[in-house]
Amino acid sequence: MWLFIGLGNPGDKYAHNRHNIGFMAVDEIAHRHNFSDWKKGKFKGLIAEGKIGEEKVLLLKPQTYMNDSGLSVLPAASFYKISPENIIVFHDELDLDPGKIRIKQGGGAGGHNGLRSIDSHLGKNYWRVRMGIGHPGDKDKVHSYVLKDFSKEDKKWLEKLIPEIGYEAEYLIKQDMSGFMNKIVLSMPPSKPK
């Protein structure tokens, strides 16, 4: 069994924020693969269940606010006895250009409070799907940048990226992480030269 976690903040106020791209990704996976409706679980989060290919997958959107995501992730992983190697976290990444995607297992939190919280509860050996949102250019502007809605310009790549994540999710459960990244990269429009 797999656990896919989207990181974000609960509530309509945050729904279209850059910080909520993780929620957007798992919403799309749920939609694309006909998962159950989202239900309030006992894990301080919303849960949807389904299958991707032949594999059972649990989707989780922590409702703890970003900084306490681990308080939702650990109880869900423990209850279903899912090891970190079968956990994938979808999150925003300041250090990647908008629309770029990278996958890695383990590593540091890179200043991401949601990852830091998960690391402190679960350890670091889970997978991360890092979805680039770009950097505002000044570290003092990061907080307001991630809590702002995506711009019109952003929506051009976002409306391409999110459906592709849903389409290609089967690569993840086959543990073909490079295949997943290659499919997404090939489907994305080329970046404009700066």
Active site residues: 19
Q: CA torsion angle for 129, 10, 119, 178 (degrees, to 10)?
A: -10
What sign results for the dihedral spanned by CA atoms 13, 17, 19, 24?
positive
User: Residue 91: which of 123, 120, 60, 122 has the closest Cα?
Assistant: 60
C-alpha separations of 138 from 1, 118, 146 in Å? 41, 26, 12
Strand partners, 47: 39, 60
Q: For 24, how many CA atoms within 13 A lie in the half-sphere containing its CB?
A: 23
Is residue 37 classed exposed, middle or buried when 0-12, 13-18 and 19+ CB atoms within 10 A define those classes? exposed
